[in-house]
Amino acid sequence: MKSKLFTLILVLTFLITFVIFFKGLKSSNIYTPNTILEKKIPSFELKSFENNSIIITEKIFKDNEYYFVNIWASWCIPCKEEHKFLMELKKNGKIKLIGFNYKDNFKNASSFLKDLGNPYDIVVSDKDGTRSIEWGAYGVPESFLVYQSKIIKRFIGPINNENLSEIQKIIK
């Protein structure tokens, strides 16, 4: 009698453990950040890349205008890959591009923009990366579409032709 009870308890324990692990395998534990946001843009005060003047949020972002905030660095290989799409986006004229130069050397970043072209209306220097993190960036490149001082769309990684088409549809 004791051995049957022990066997039953052992089998039930095994089944319960199996069910718990099986359910755990079915649920995804991969974190994917939300790319569609309605989050107010964080306030910042950064130095202009070109002349070291102070640039603050309130002087850049106006209502009823679209902005594309792109976090980039000269040492970032994917940033070089996405650059041609930023240059194409600049041609649109209905959107202003803001570049956050992330943890970069001024000389290298200047050469990057000189060699590949400067798609940005404004470039700010984020030497320690804190302002980019406040925007929610995980790394470079990362971009945010802004309208009415709110982040309406997030692009993780380099933008591509598909992203470019999506942005152009939104800003029409």
Residue 11 maps to a domain: no
- As a whole number of Å, the end-to-end CA separation of the chain is 78
* Sheet of 95-102, strands arranged across: 39-40, 150-156, 142-147, 66-72, 95-102, 122-126, 45-48, 54-56
Residue 9 maps to a domain: no
Nearest to 140 by CA among 74, 89, 61: 74
Distance CA 36, CA 145 (A): 10
Residue 129 maps to a domain: yes
What pLDDT, in 10s, does the model give residues 50-68? 888 898 888 888 888 999 9
Residue 23 maps to a domain: no
Residue 89 maps to a domain: yes
Would you say 74 and 105 are in contact if contact means Cβ atoms under 8 Å apart? yes
Whether the predicted pLDDT of 114 surpasses 70: yes
Residue 21 maps to a domain: no
Q: Which domain holds residue 163?
A: 39-170
Residue 77 maps to a domain: yes
Tally the domains of the chain: 1
CATH number for 129: 3.40.30.10
Model's pTM, two decimal places? 0.77
Long-range contacts of 151-154 (CB under 8 A, 24+ apart): 151/37, 151/38, 151/39, 151/40, 151/41, 152/36, 152/37, 152/38, 153/35, 153/36, 153/37, 154/33, 154/34, 154/35, 154/36, 154/37
What pLDDT, in 10s, does the model give residues 2-59? 788 888 888 888 888 877 877 777 666 554 555 555 678 888 888 888 888 898 888 8
Whether the predicted pLDDT of 148 surpasses 50: yes
Distance CA 80, CA 125 (A): 18
Would you say 39 and 147 are in contact if contact means Cβ atoms under 8 Å apart? no
Residue 20 maps to a domain: no
